[in-house]
Chain A
Amino acid sequence: MTKIQAFIGRYQLSHLLILAALLLVVMPLAMDIFRLNLVGKYLTYAFVAVGLVLCWGYGGILSLGQGVFFGLGGYCMAMFLKLEASSPEQTAIQSTPGIPDFMDWNQLTALPWFWEPFHSFGFTLLAVILIPALFAFIIAVAMFKRRVGGVYFAIITQAIAAILTILIIGQQGYTGGVNGITDLRTLHGWDIRTDSAKYILYFINAFLLIGCLFAARYIIKSKLGRLLVAMREREDRVRFSGYDVSSFKIFIYCIAAVFSAIGGAMFTLQVGFMSPSFVGIVPSIEMVIFCAVGGRLSILGAVYGTLLVNWAKTSFSESFPELWLFAMGALFIGVVMAFPNGLAGLYQTYVEPRLQRFKKSSDPALASDMDALKTAEIKPNKTKDTESAAEEYSHAGNQ
């Protein structure tokens, strides 16, 4: 069995801070706005991947339909932006001015009722979080209370992703159909297409992602994190220790959905449109691959995995567009078979021991007992409280 222990309590603050510095300082300095915007787009998928670490890596709940929540969050934001871009003045040439252009093309003459609340930005922000959370809650209650799990759950989530895609495409007049909601321009009069807006949105996105990482870290380090690991191994034992297993699964699934939805909303803002091609089965599975490549037990690994796979996708598909999907599939199979813990696992197996050795040679105080250090690495913070353990590990990780 894998040394889950090696991962738990291992989210050293220092590693998170390194990632934060990379996202907030290095990337913006090293890249032009076009590339940075691209990274910002990739990072929106990282929200999904981090959510998958929680619900798949820790909770053992494989969802192949996270695109649903990414899409719901993205569509909520897109509906607000679209309404702002469809003021009567801007749409004066339509037969019904004041409604989004695609509705006019579909012979709608009035704004559908469920679009009305999206005139309000406050409502939209709430909806980005609450609608996906509620939807996830309904799915999770229906499934987990009946103890549907494993492969069956994965298939059902995939079916939901397919259904939602078909629904969006079929209800063209209400949703923009296969093109999605496009031509988004301003947020409260602030043009989101300018370079300065793209910089600002990139930073908002990065801060939100770091916030999600902190939240995920808190959950993993709490007793709930250990319960998830326990549930994944011995669901019955957890149940007969007096826990309502389904409530924990529902919780973690909803958290993963909310993370995805935040990513989706930030995607819409940075890329300027939202379409069903980010909702369906293929994007949902791609997001699972990002998570698997990064390491499904590492929230930071998920971020790096997302960036790496997307960077590879962009450069690879420029040269061999038809081959990319095959490469992606091969990557997934390869990672699962050869490195089940992904990049994070490789880092822990190969890089960290070297860092330890380096530390040992440079710090004679610690040189006394390398073995003790190693043991502590594998089984951290058992009898100490989590805070002091976190300090201990951030100390160990500070090279």
Chain B
Amino acid sequence: MLETNKSIPKKDFVLSIEGLTVSFDGFKAVNDLSLYVEEQEIRVIIGPNGAGKTTVLDLICGRTKATEGSIKFKGKELTKLNEHQIVHAGVGRKFQNPSIYEDLTVFENLELSYPRGRNVWGALTFRRDAEVVAKVKEIADMIFLGDKLDMNADLLSHGQKQWLEIGMLLIQDPELLMLDEPVAGMSVSERKQTAELLQRITKDRSVLVIEHDMQFVADIADRVTVLHQGQVLSEGSMERVQSDPKVIEVYLGH
């Protein structure tokens, strides 16, 4: 069905999705989907509304349980794990709307995401030591919020909230980072900064991004996957995908 597989170089796959299907009362939101993500690759998933993009991320991170198929992350089957176990395996997820703790400060938001003291006892005995503070500051500088550590997160602008959530993922140091529309609602300059940020943070990890902004996609994507009705319609470089007649028909031509 797809001609893309031959173009895949001999690199290890971090994530291999095979035959993934999820059915909501008979409606197949994702239908027999196969997708492979390489190490250090930035893969962007595009597709019209209802194509199943967010559902794919939900399936990978365990929020939705698959009806059929397998999701292997570094050889580990994710479909059987709980959400927090998937996080521990090294998968981080950013939600579509900025999902941060608005009652807490920027510092506390990042601190809670620091991967230590994740069980009850660990949380009770957690100490805010120099290591934690240093790491939080490092990440805060990276996401342009270094001077806002003491600010309550609800006072941040929309774009800053998006960055904060990205920062909360970075501090977990995941090997696979999944971002659902990271630049939605951002100003032009914020988009630029975010693209730079993504280029920087993807040096030692793989990234799976859902995005609608085509300029942004062209800026960051190594490869693009087009989803349509729960299936892969096309896959490859941005130019290749953009010139694919099937894609033009269902999506870009609109």
By a beta-carbon cutoff of 8 Å, the part of chain A in contact with chain B is 1-5, 218-219, 222-224, 226-227, 229-230, 233-234, 236-245, 247-248, 251, 378-379, 382-383, 385-386
Contacts and interface: CB of A to CB of B under 8 A. Distances in A.
B84 A243 contact: yes
A241 B108 contact: no
B101 A240 contact: no
A241 B113 contact: yes
Contact of A227 (B82, B93, B112, B133): B112
B83 A239 contact: yes
Nearest to B113: A241
B123 A227 contact: yes
Interface stretch (B41-49, B71-79, B114-122): B114-122
Contacts of A236: 63, 95, 99
Contacts of B61: 240
B76 to A, nearest CB: 15
A240 B87 contact: yes
A interface: dominant SS: helix
A382 B87 contact: no
Query: Which of A1, A226, A242, A382 has the most chain B CB atoms inside 10 A of its CB?
Result: A242
Contacts of B118: 242-244
Interface in B91-116: 92-93, 95, 99-105, 107-108, 111-113, 115
Contacts of B95: 236-237, 240
Contacts of B84: 239-240, 242-245
Given A227-B123, A385-B127, A244 B82 contact: yes
Contact of A382 (B102, B115, B119, B149): B149
Determine which residue in B61, B123, B128 has the highest number of CB atoms from chain A within 10 A of its CB, and name it: B123
Interface of B: 61, 63, 82-84, 87-88, 92-93, 95, 99-105, 107-108, 111-113, 115, 117-120, 123-129, 133, 149-152, 154, 165, 168, 172
Contact of A230 (B93, B104, B107, B129): B104
Q: Which 3 A-B pairs have the closest CB atoms?
A: A242-B87, A223-B126, A224-B123
A229 B103 contact: yes
Nearest to A389: B128
B112 A219 contact: no
Nearest to A7: B103
Most buried by A among B83, B95, B101, B126: B101
B102 A248 contact: no
Contact of B104 (A222, A226, A240, A383): A226
A394 to B, nearest CB: 19
A233 B82 contact: no
A241 B104 contact: no
B172 A241 contact: yes
Given A1-B154, A222-B123, A233 B128 contact: no
Residue in B92, B152, B168 with the greatest tally of chain A CB atoms within 10 Å: B152
Contacts of B113: 241
A248 B152 contact: no
Q: Which of A219, A251, A383 has the most CB of B within 10 A?
A: A383
Contacts of A378: 152
A233 B117 CA distance: 20
B172 A242 contact: yes
A234 B101 contact: yes
Contacts of A237: 95, 99-101, 165, 168
Contacts of B112: 223, 226-227, 230, 238, 241
A188 B52 CA distance: 70
Nearest to A232: B103
A234 to B, nearest CB: 5
Q: Which of B99, B154, B172 counts the most chain A CB atoms within 10 A?
A: B99
B128 to A, nearest CB: 5
B107 A382 contact: yes
A383 B128 CA distance: 9
25 contacts: A1-B102, A1-B103, A4-B104, A5-B105, A222-B123, A224-B124, A230-B103, A230-B104, A230-B112, A234-B100, A234-B101, A236-B63, A237-B95, A237-B99, A237-B101, A238-B112, A240-B95, A242-B84, A242-B87, A244-B82, A244-B118, A247-B119, A382-B149, A383-B107, A385-B127
Nearest to A250: B120
A4 B151 CA distance: 13
Contact of A240 (B92, B102, B125, B127): B92
Given A243-B118, A244-B119, A379-B151, A223 B87 contact: no
A136 to B, nearest CB: 14
B172 A247 contact: no
A223 B120 CA distance: 10
Contacts of A243: 84, 118
Nearest to B178: A240
Contacts of A239: 83-84, 87
Nearest to A240: B93
Contacts of B129: 385
A153 to B, nearest CB: 19
A5 B124 contact: no
Contacts of A222: 123-126
Contacts of A2: 103
Contacts of B152: 3, 5, 378-379
A44 B254 CA distance: 68
A381 to B, nearest CB: 9
A162 B128 CA distance: 44
A383 B92 CA distance: 25
B222 to A, nearest CB: 24
A383 B150 contact: yes
A386 B93 CA distance: 30
Contacts of A382: 105, 107-108, 149-150
Nearest to B128: A385
Contacts of B107: 382-383
